[in-house]
Amino acid sequence: MAVRTATPVTGWLLRGGDGRLTAYAPTEGGVVRWTETRPGGPEWSGPELLPVPGLEPYLSIARSAQGYVSLVGVRKRVVPGDEGERTETEVVYATQFQPGRQPTNWRSLGTPHGPDRQRAEQIGVPAAAVDRHGLNVFVRNSGGGVCGRRQDARGIWGPWQDMKGSHVLDSLSAGVTAGGRVELLAPAAEFVLRWRQEQPGGPFRRIRNVPGKPAAASSTSAPTGDDRITHFWREDGDSSLRVLPPEAAEEAAAEDAEPESVSLGTIGSGPVAVLRTVLDGHDCTVLAQRAPSGLPAVAAFPSGDETVEPVWSETGEEFAGAPALARDARGRVVVAVLGMDGHLRVARQRTSEAGLALGDWERI
């Protein structure tokens, strides 16, 4: 079963409430899913096709504190009308409550443009995150700004809200802390836009732009501390990886100045996967990327030291899209990629060795 993604995205490997890992990927006609047959593996079931006619080849995936997984995408359907067939574009989502079980029916969130079909066709791919109350979905609108829609504490969806912004590129990235506070990043033509919740579940506030020329579809926002989210993206032109450490952003805000990002001196393609974990008793952040060679490359450093240039180790075979990172039921770091043949490949940490040593790659 061939799997092809139009926009590379990380975050597609997640651990469910029962400890089993599930990998998701969009494909023609739906979503492909692989699931561990028991917590910690090594056997997997799949690939299994979850039919979603009209789904565009992109997914944003968000996990709740309870282990529920929300799949968010854009669906385009040709429907009959009084004046002939027309294309309807809508943001849709489904929720999987238990690994291996069927998700809920796909529900429509519409678009920020209501019945205006022409403008609806121009929206960007969605970004999703679950805060203390529920699911948040963000998209670039037809005017180049950002709109968001969110669930309240009762699970009821509010209307689409105009969050402003301009010249936004595809795609956005959202990160959530352990306490349920979300930050949103939007690469734009000449800068990086940012929003944040001051309190878990609270309203989003626009904060200072970051100067730069970010590449489209290259950003990642991920927790690197208990109440700490770090943003990464690639610079357009040279594909170098840049980072905005939270402390630097806070210092700039205190001085009413524009925050400055830091170059990590790393070249690659697509967004970088980010995972906070414990290595040799130390709080660490693991990164995974697609190296210029096309191979997976991983690096690790102490959490909070993002400005230190990481040392990368290439491994495995050439792959497509972006890698994903997760911890399995035994606490091991798991790296996942989609091979050039469309098959899932995973490598797990060897806990018998110091640092971040990966075992052999398995073709699923």
Domains of the chain (ranges, CATH numbers): 13-272 (2.120.10.10)
Q: Half-sphere exposure of 47 toward its Cβ, with a 13 Å CA cutoff?
A: 20
pLDDT value, residue 134:
96
CA distance 364 to 359: 15
pLDDT value, residue 174:
98
Helix (H) or strand (E) holding 77: strand 69-79
pLDDT value, residue 32:
95
CA distance 30 to 52: 4
Angle (CA) 55-184-7 rounded to 5° is 35
Once rounded to an integer, what is the mean pLDDT over residues 324-352?
96
pLDDT in tens, 270-295: 999 999 999 999 999 999 999 999 99
| pTM confidence score | 0.95
Closest CA to 338 of 27, 30, 37, 95: 27
pLDDT in tens, 142-167: 999 999 999 998 999 999 999 999 99
- Asked if 336 and 358 count as a contact pair (C-beta separation under 8 A), the reply is no
